[in-house]
Amino acid sequence: MNKQNIYDLLKAKNIKHEITEHCALFSMKDTADVVFPYPEAEAKNLFVRDDKKRNYYLITVRGDKRVDLKAFRKKFGLRALSFASTADLEDKLQLIPGSVSPFGLLNDKSCSVIWYVDEEFTTVSHMIGIHPNDNTATVWFDPQDLIQIIRTHGNTIEMINLNDCLIKEEI
């Protein structure tokens, strides 16, 4: 699904949302120059794989968090993790770097990618901002709507507390 397909899906499902168009963003550092309506709901998406390239995971956290992949692996009983390659990203989600999004799971025909979602989106902000499979826009809406879309598609979803899997910034 491309950007327009995502917009059409949200409209067809009558999901209340807002869209912020912006320049292409390739990392969270790039967002510093963009004024977002809901900065506390900005999502960061990490596409990772295990060391045998058998299992792929999408981890979605608030943009200001940094995930410790070793701690994450231990907490969830996974094999060693590393970032998936550009080729893996294109093969599994039909996305390019910078455009990683839970909406990419809609391109996962085998529904094999497991989605880990920081529960803070549903318990604190009640809003999430993600790319519509294109890094020139951010869609803001209720994370429960997103969860329902992905659940209906068929991917496994794990709502998680990541507090003990974060890299703590030194002051």
Q: Is 76 within a domain? A: yes
Query: Which structural domain range is residue 116 located in?
Result: 3-29+40-165
Q: Is 171 within a domain? A: no
Q: What are phi and psi of 129, to 5 degrees?
A: -120, 115
Q: How many of the other CB atoms lie within 10 Å of CB of 130? A: 25
Q: Is 170 within a domain? A: no
Task: Report how many domains make up the chain.
Answer: 1
Distance CA 102, CA 130 (A): 8
Q: Is 35 within a domain? A: no
β-pairing verdict for 114-118 and 56-62:
parallel
Q: Is 12 within a domain? A: yes
Q: Is 49 within a domain? A: yes
Q: Is 47 within a domain? A: yes
Q: Is 90 within a domain? A: yes
Under DSSP, is residue 5 helix (H, G, I), strand (E, B) or coil? Answer: helix
Q: pLDDT digit of tens for each residue in the chain (171 aa)?
A: 999 999 999 999 999 999 999 877 777 776 777 778 788 899 999 999 999 999 999 999 998 899 999 999 999 999 999 999 999 999 999 999 999 999 999 999 999 999 999 999 998 878 999 999 999 999 999 999 999 999 999 999 999 998 889 987 654
- CATH number of the CATH domain containing 127: 3.90.960.10
